[in-house]
Chains A and B, each alone.
Chain A
Amino acid sequence: MNIIIPIKQVPETSNVKMDPETGTMIREGLVSIINPLDLFAIELGIVLQEEAGGSTTVLSMGPPKAAEALREAMAMGCTDGILLSDRKFAGSDTWATSYALAQAIRKNGDFDLVICGERATDGDTGQVGPGIAAWLDLPVATYVSRLVENRPGSLVVERLVEDGYETLEVEKPCVLTVVKEAAYPRLPTLRGKQRARKTELPVWGAVDIDADPAALGLKGSPTRVVKINTPKVTRSGDIRTAGDPAELEAAVDDLVAYLEKIDLV
C-alpha cells in the first residue's frame, strides 16, 4: 500500500505574543514545528504501512526550511519525502496549494491513499485535504477518528460528526483527513533520525510537477484577505436583581415566560 501524507510546517503558537497595537502575532523568534494535527496523519500512515507494507511518502510545500518537518516525519518512520519548494508557489491560498500538492501526488506515481491532518493550526481552514481530493477526483472522508478496516479495494472508517460517529466504506484510492483520536504519534528514535538524515529528499519545483504556472502562487489564488478583525461576541444576557422575595418571584416568572416563548418549556 502506497500512502501519501501532505504536511505543513507552522509557527509554534502556544507561547505566542500578540502586538497590542496591531492585534497581530509577533512572528519574530517563533520556532517552526510540524502542524500538530498532521502528526496524527503521519502516525496513522506509518501504522498502516507497517501492517500492509508499501511506502509512506511525506510531502510538503514550503520554503527550504520545511525540509526539517519532512525529515522529522521520516525519523518517525515515513519511508520517503518530497519537498515542493519554488518561488512560484509563494502566496498560494488553499486552492493553489491543493492544486500543487495534487500535481505532485500525480507525478509521484501510483498510490492507494492520501492522509491529511484535519487542518493547519495557522490557517485553520481545513480546505487543503478536500481540495486535493477534488483536484484528483477522488472520494474523501473528512474528520476520520478511526480506521476500522483496511479491505482489499476499500477502507472502512469512522468519522467524527457533530452528533456522534458515522461509519463509511470508501473506495481506494481515496483521501482522508484525520482528527486526533485517529492515532497517537510516536517519538522519533535515534535510528529513525539516522535513517532520515541519510535518505535522499528530492526538491521539486513548478516545472517538475507539470503545473500550469497561472494556477500557482498568488496569481493562482482566488482568495483575497481584505480585512482581519476579531469577531465580536453577539450573545447578551439579562441580569435581574432579586433583592427581596417579590423581586425574586417576578424574575422567575419572567424567566419562565421567556423559556415558554422560545419553546424550551
Chain B
Amino acid sequence: MSTYHPVTPEIIAELEQIVGRRYVIHGDSEQLEPYSHDEITEKKYHHLPDVVVRPRTTTEIAAIMKLANRELIPVTPRGGGSGLSGGAVPVMGGIVLATDRMNSIIELDTDNMLIVVEPGVITNDIDALVAEHGLFFAGYPMSLQSCFIGGNVAENAGGGKAVKYGVTGQYILGVEMVTPEGEIVKLGGKLVKDVTGYDLTKLIIGSEGTLGIFTKVIIKLLPRPTEVVDLLVLFPDPETAIGMVSTIMTEARVIPTAIEFMDRLSAHASCEYLNERLPYEKAGAMLLIQLDGNRKAQLEEEYEAIGELCLEHGAIEVYVADNYTTQERIWSVRRNIAEAFMVVSPHQSLEDITVPVANIPKMIPELERLAKKYDIQVPCYGHAGDGNLHATPVKNPNHSLEQWEEMLPQILADLYAATRDLDGVISGEHGIGHKRKNYMSYSVSDASLELMKRIKRAFDPNNVLNPGKIFDV
C-alpha cells in the first residue's frame, strides 16, 4: 500500500504549466465539490479532491501521470459523473482528472462502420450524429443524456438494449490510452479480428479507470433499425411477469431489444410521480418490451406473437406503442422510477445484481423475504431480459437513520448471498467502485481476486491511478 504525498503549491504550479492555469481548480471547496461525488447521494461515499485538472490532449494526460508517479499522488479519472458505484470519486484525495475537454469526434468512418471519438463526448451525441448516416451505436446506458463514452467504456455500461445487442464493451474495437505510469499505448484497432497477443482491449473495458485513462475510443456501429415498437404489459404479479422473459424468447422465438421489468412498488411510485393514469393499480408488475427491425409487417407479427403469449400466460393488458407519443409515455414510466423513489425516501441503496435469466423468478421471493426480515421496502426494476435487476432497499421512514445505517450492510450481505446462491454477481453494469468493494468475495474467489490484484500491480506499480476502487491492493 502506497503512502501518498500531499499536493503542494509546487505541484499545483506544475499542473498549471501542463494544462494551463484556467484548467486547474484548487483551494475553493465550493468549486471542488462537484468533483467529490457521482450520482450516489449518500455523503459517506463522497470525497473532495485536492485539485482538479482538465487536460485537452493525450500528452498532457501522460505528463500528469508521470508527475503523479514521481510525486506519489493519486489520480482519479472522471467522465460525466453519472456513475453509480463511486468510480469517479477521489477517495484518497489528490488529483481528479476530468476528461470533459477531450470531447472531439475524431473520425466517422462510414466505410468501416465505425467512429473514433475522444472520451469526453456525450454518448447520446454519438448516436445522434451517426443516426444521420443510417447507423447506430448499440450501447444504450439509461443516463445517455449526460454520460461520457469514456465512462461507459471504463464501467462497461450495460443498459436497456443488452438483451439483443449486448453491452458497451462489445462495440469497442480499440482504444488509445495513457497507462498509469504515463505511457501512451494503442490497444486494438479498426479490426474485426485480432488475436495478436493478449486482448488488452477487453481487459481495460470495465476496469473502472484503474488500469488506464482513455484518450481515444474506436466504436463499432451497426445499421440503424428503422422501426421500433414497444409493448407495455400489465401482469397480476411479479412471478408471472418475470416468468415471461424466457418464454418470450423460447416460445415466440423473438429476441427483443429490451425487456424491462417493474414490480408493483416501482411502477406505482413512478406512475404517481408522473401523474400517469394508465390503470396501473390493477398491475402487480409490468414488463416493457421493445422490438426493432426494418420491416413494419414483420414487427407487427412479432409483437402480436409476444402479446398473445403474454395474454395466454395471464397478462391483464397489453399496450402497444409504435409512435413517438406513446413510446415516450411508456418509457418515461420506466425512466422515472429512481427519481420517484428519491421523493419517497432519499435513503436507499440502488443495487445492480445480475443472475442467469432463467433464475430471475427465484430472485423475487428472496427480495420479498428480505423486505419482510428488515421491515423495509425493496422495489425492484431493471433489465429483466438480461437478468440484471435494480433491487433497491429503501429506508423505512419509521426507522432512525442510525438503525438504517446499521442495517444496510446486513441487508446487502443477505442480498448478495442470495444472488450468489442463484449463480449471480453483485454488479451487472454499475461497477464495484468503492461502494461494493467490501463485498467482492460474494462474487469472486480469493484466487481470482489475487490475479486481479497482480494485474493492477503490473499496470500501476505505484498504485496512483484510481486507488481504493474494486479492491485494495
List the interface of chain A (C-beta within 8 A of B): 12, 29, 31-34, 36, 39, 68, 72, 75, 184, 186-194, 197
Contacts and interface: CB of A to CB of B under 8 A. Distances in A.
Nearest to A192: B320
A190 B231 contact: yes
Contacts of A197: 300
A189 B317 contact: yes
B21 interface: no
Nearest to A194: B304
Interface in B275-321: 277-278, 300, 303-304, 307-308, 311, 317-321
A193 B320 contact: yes
Interface of B: 132, 231-232, 277-278, 300, 303-304, 307-308, 311, 317-326, 329-330
A223 B81 CA distance: 53
Contact of A75 (B232, B320, B330): B320
Nearest to B131: A29
B319 A31 contact: no
A190 B304 contact: yes
B449 to A, nearest CB: 46
A91 to B, nearest CB: 26
B323 A31 contact: yes
28 contacts: A12-B325, A33-B323, A33-B324, A34-B325, A36-B325, A39-B325, A68-B323, A72-B323, A75-B320, A184-B277, A186-B278, A187-B278, A187-B320, A187-B321, A187-B326, A187-B330, A188-B319, A188-B321, A189-B317, A189-B318, A189-B319, A190-B231, A190-B311, A190-B318, A192-B320, A193-B320, A193-B322, A197-B300
B286 to A, nearest CB: 12
B323 A187 contact: no
A190 B320 contact: yes
Q: Most chain-A Cβ atoms within 10 A of its Cβ — which of B321, B324, B325, B329?
A: B325
Contacts of A75: 320
Contacts of B303: 190
A188 B326 contact: yes
Given A190-B304, A190-B307, 20 more contacts: A12-B324, A12-B325, A29-B132, A31-B324, A34-B323, A36-B325, A68-B323, A72-B322, A184-B277, A187-B232, A187-B278, A187-B319, A187-B320, A187-B326, A188-B321, A188-B326, A189-B317, A189-B319, A189-B320, A190-B308
Contacts of A189: 317-320
Contacts of B308: 190
Contacts of B318: 189-191
Contacts of A193: 320, 322
Nearest to A35: B325
A186 B277 CA distance: 8
Q: Which 6 A-B pairs have the closest CB atoms?
A: A190-B318, A190-B307, A187-B319, A12-B324, A193-B320, A33-B325
B128 to A, nearest CB: 10
A75 B326 CA distance: 12
Nearest to A69: B323
A193 B322 CA distance: 10
Nearest to A193: B320
Contacts of B323: 31-34, 68, 72
Nearest to B319: A187
A191 B317 CA distance: 9
Nearest to B303: A190
A139 B308 CA distance: 45
Which residue, of B231, B232, B318, has the highest number of chain A Cβ atoms within 10 A? B318
B260 to A, nearest CB: 16
A154 B321 CA distance: 36
B102 to A, nearest CB: 26
A34 B321 CA distance: 13
A194 B245 CA distance: 23
A128 B450 CA distance: 74
Contacts of A194: 304
B283 to A, nearest CB: 13
A199 to B, nearest CB: 15
B342 to A, nearest CB: 25
Nearest to A30: B324
A93 B232 CA distance: 39
A184 B330 CA distance: 15
Nearest to A31: B324
Identify the interface centre among B231, B278, B323: most chain A CB within 10 Å of its CB: B323
A17 to B, nearest CB: 10
A187 B319 CA distance: 6
Contacts of B320: 75, 187-190, 192-193
Contacts of A12: 324-325
Contacts of B300: 197
Contacts of A68: 323
Contacts of B307: 190
Contacts of B330: 187
A107 B317 CA distance: 37
Most buried by B among A36, A186, A187, A188: A187
Contacts of B132: 29
Nearest to B328: A14
**Chain B CB within 10 Å — which of A29, A33, A190, A197 has the most?**
A190
A190 B318 CA distance: 6
A188 B320 CA distance: 6
B302 to A, nearest CB: 12
Nearest to B276: A184
A237 B297 CA distance: 59
- Residue from B132, B307, B329, B330 having most chain A Cβ neighbours under 10 A: B307
Contacts of A190: 231, 303-304, 307-308, 311, 318-320
A197 B232 CA distance: 19
